[in-house]
Structures are given as structure tokens and as C-alpha cells.
Amino acid sequence: MSDLVLRDVRVVALDDETSDEPVDVLVRAGRIAAVGPGLEVGGDGDGELVPEVAGEGRYVIPGLWDKHVHMAQWGLSQTRLDTGGTASAGEVLARVQDRLAWGFDNPTGVLVGWGHRTGRWDRQPTVAELDAVTGAVPVALISGDCHHGWLNTAALRMLGGPETDKVVAEAEWFPLYDRLERLPGAGEESEFAVARAVQDAHTQGVVGIVDLEFGRPWEQWRHRSAEGMPPLRVRTGVYPEGLDTVVAAGLRTGDPIGATDGLVTMGPLKVITDGSLNTRTAWCCQPYADGHLLELPSGAANLPADELQSLLTRARGAGLETALHAIGDAAVSAVLDAFAATGVSGSVEHAQLVDPADVLRWAALPQRVVASVQPAHLLDDRSVTEQCWPDRTDRTFMLRSFLDAGIELALGSDAPVAPLDPWLAMAAAVHRGPEGGESWHPEQEIGPRDALAAAVDGQRVRVGDRGDLALLDSDPLGEAGDLTSAERARRLRYTVVSATVLAGTLVHGG
């Protein structure tokens, strides 16, 4: 925790309108100690001069957060074979064949790809056709939603997977995903990727994430701090298989993880209650439009209601909040039942398809249950939504409805499913379509101020709040005037972050 003063900055108003006159912002011991013009600062606790950053009239906001990240996977996705944007199994196979011909450098010996989405393919891929182009080289291709893996026989055997000719999805896939990251050499590759990802996050004004990585991320971040990883605030999740370990250690949500300077804390219990849209496993109240082709026409729950409630009851007793993945409307309804029955606080992660009646039921819960949504997903999922849920597209990504009902909104990326880029997330929430394209169900758009407020972890540039700040070259809100949602989104999307301050320490720019 450090001391720092920003001179001559303009505070971006997230609540009531404030003066546009430049002020100074003083951070002492990692907290905002004073905000006002011409502050007399004096020395720090050791009598040294407090470092200063010349704002020169630039704009300041609280540091940004991404409330749903798989940090190791996000870092690694930058180095993996890109299978995104493909329209068929054949296109992916061509990329794999090309990479194998040129050679690849991976300490695990496995060629890993990431990004394909099979939701709109005319058929599902097979192990046999992957074997035909890969031979004995282990190959694992991770879907863009991370809910299935297309593995060849060599990789299935290496990771202890099932004997199958199909992709491995959901409950069968996630353990293989974890084993892939535990292979010899994977750890070193992962840590290098995470360090680079943290530095990239700083350039975007990001000071904190909720890391919902598999395994024991609380231990990984302790090790990273000891090894000199660039600093970042992190709340680490735990999955049901790690719950006994966390409970035995007495770790409660919000407890600091030792030897991390208080930057890393214990986060929620994460439970994946259903699947995903692209994999056709999200649990819905009505069948998918192409459900007649599916083994489970409406998707399905990943665990029964009594088991989910038992997990939540145990979490509450152990002092843990919960983060419940729910994409289909049946899954959202089930997790709201579980929240109501147990009284535990936490979040619904994704909340992609929601019954309007459940929005009202959600808002009536007595405890805090946040809508943790990833708006950039709608950019990728629009076409498959119109194919699979054509009769319910108006009930997807209901950000405006959540806010109007009084439900707290938090934005994230689910990186690597979407980039760890809060400006992209905010822009997609403001204009529900691509740059230069029409907005999809604009009645669910939110304003730039609401989007920014949902990305700062409840912080403001005010005395007592954390000394986490981002200095911007322009006001991301500006004067609304007669701007279209696309123009407002563009202003957000291309905001330049010239400096980032974490707990009073300058971690990017100046």
C-alpha cells in the first residue's frame, strides 16, 4: 500500500452530477484520503515526498474490475491454436493440419486449440476425423464457450478420458480440462501467460478480477505474489470438489490469502448448474428449436435441486458466498429457488435467458444476489440464439430489466470466452450489436453511466474508498446529447487509459 497524489484531474460522475473543475486526489496507505483542489500533501509516513502524477486535466474513474475470469485459461488462450470463426469441422481440421506441418512448441507435448463454436455447424465433429489428421500427436481443441473438448484418441488416453467418438462435454469434460493444466510443463507455461495477462489488464485500467479458475487458485495467487507477479486484486473461487479444503482452512469469503499483501482474498463457491448455449446443454423451460436432434431437447441440470441446496447451505455455514452458473431459464429459476431456500448471498453467473417473472422474484430476495453478466457474449451468441431460441430472443441478456427491478449488476468477460476487456463489455451493454451494426433488442440497452458503474466494484473517487484509479484521456460518458447508442458505445470502446493506480501504486503509464 502506497501514497500517491494525482494533480489536476476531472472526476467522472457515476452518480449525481459533479463539477467538471480539476481536483487533486490524494491516496494514503492505499486509500483515498482527500479529494479537492490544490491539496497540501506534505510527506509520507517516512517523511519522504509523496509521488505525484500530473493529470493535466485528464479524467479519473475508480479502477475497473472483471467479475468473471478464468485467468490461466485467458492467458493461455493468447498462445493456443486459434480455432475461432470456423464454420465447420473441416475448417478446424485444416488449421490443425497446418499447425502440425509447421510444428508447434508446447512443453506438454499437446497441441491445444481454442475458440471453435459448433452451435451453427451442420454436424458435430468426431474423434475419428481428428485422428486422421493428427496421428499419435495428442490434440485437445477447446470450444469457445469452454464447455466441451474435441480430443483425439492420443489426448483422450493421456488425460484419462472416456472411449468415445464424440466431443467430451460438461461433467465429463471439466476434469480433463483440469488434467490438461497439470501435465508436466503446463505450470511454467501458464504462469508466464498469467503474468502477461495481468500486465495487459493494467493497460485497460483493470485493478481486480474474480478468478473462477479450476483447481486451487487461492494457492496459485499466493505463489504468484511470492514470485513477484505484477500486482492485482483477486477474489478466488472454489468449486465443490475443493470445498472441503477451504472449509478445513477456515477461509471465508473476503478473508485475505496470506502473503499477498491483502490483494488476494477468498471469493465464492462456484457451482456450474447447467451447460451452455453453443453446446446445447443450457437447461431451458422449453426445448431448443432443433431439440429433436438432441439427446436432451431442453438441456438439463447438472445436479439435482436437493444437492444444490445442500451445497449452498454448507457454504453459508462456512461463511462463503456462492456464484451459480445458470444460462438457461430453467437453470436461473432453479438457482433462484436455491437462493430463496438457503438465504445465502452471492451471484447468478451469466443469467443469459431469464423468464420475466423470475426477474421480479429475484428482485424480491431479501439477501444480496448480483446479476453477474458478460455482455460481450451477446455479440457471439446472437446468431445461435436466433437459431436455437428464436421464440425467446427478447429474454436474453436482460440488463435493462435487471436494473429497472433493482437488481445489482456486475459486468465481466468469462475470459477466455470473451476478451478480458471491460471497455468491450461496457460497449456491448450500451449498444447490443457490432460496431456499425444494429442493436439487438435495444429495449435491453443500458446507459454508459450504468455500464461504468457496474464495472468498478462499487467504488467511487471519494474519501475512504480504495486507492485504485484509472486516468483517462477523455470522458467516457461526455455529454449524451442526441448520440445514438452506437456512438455512445464507440466512445466507451475506444477510451484510452493513460495510467492505472492500484492501492496507491502506479502500475501502468503516468
- Where do the domains of the chain lie, and which CATH numbers do they carry? 1-63+463-510 (2.30.40.10), 72-180 (3.10.310.70), 273-410 (3.20.20.140)
pLDDT band at 390 (very low <50, low <70, confident <90, very high): very high
Per-residue pLDDT, averaged over 472-495, amounts to 90
Distance, CA of 367 to CA of 370 (rounded, Å): 10
Model pLDDT for residues 212-224, shown as the tens digit of each residue: 999 999 999 999 9
Please determine, for residue 108, whether its predicted confidence score (pLDDT) is greater than 70: yes
124 Cβ neighbours under 8 A, 6+ residues apart? 89, 118, 166, 167
| Banded pLDDT at 120 (limits 50, 70, 90) | confident
pLDDT bin (cut points 50, 70, 90) of residue 482 is confident
Q: Give the β-pairing of 31-36 and 23-28.
A: antiparallel
Residue 263 has which C-alpha cell? 490483494
Which position has the higher pLDDT, 479 or 133? Answer: 133
User: Which residues partner with 150 through β-bridges?
Assistant: 141
Q: What is the pLDDT of residue 43?
A: 67
What per-residue confidence (pLDDT) applies to 293? 86
Mean pLDDT for the stretch of residues 401-407: 98
> Which of 174 and 441 is assigned the larger pLDDT?
441
Question: Sorting pLDDT into bands at 50, 70 and 90, what band is 480?
Answer: low
Cell representation of residue 403? 436494473
**Sequence-separated contacts (24+) of 483-489 with Cβ below 8 Å:** 484/431, 485/430, 485/431, 485/432, 485/439, 485/442, 485/445, 486/431, 486/433, 486/435, 486/436, 486/439, 488/430, 488/431, 488/447, 488/448, 489/426, 489/427, 489/428, 489/430, 489/431, 489/435, 489/448
User: Looking at residues 170-187, what average pLDDT do you find?
Assistant: 89
Span 36-60, average pLDDT: 87
End-to-end Cα distance, the chain = 18
Confidence of residue 18 (pLDDT cuts 50, 70, 90): low
**Hey, what's the cell of 449?**
453511466
Q: Per residue, what are the HEC states of 135-161?
A: CCCCEEEEECCCCEEEECHHHHHHHCC
Cα-Cα-Cα-Cα torsion 151, 353, 123, 158, nearest 10 degrees, comes to: 10
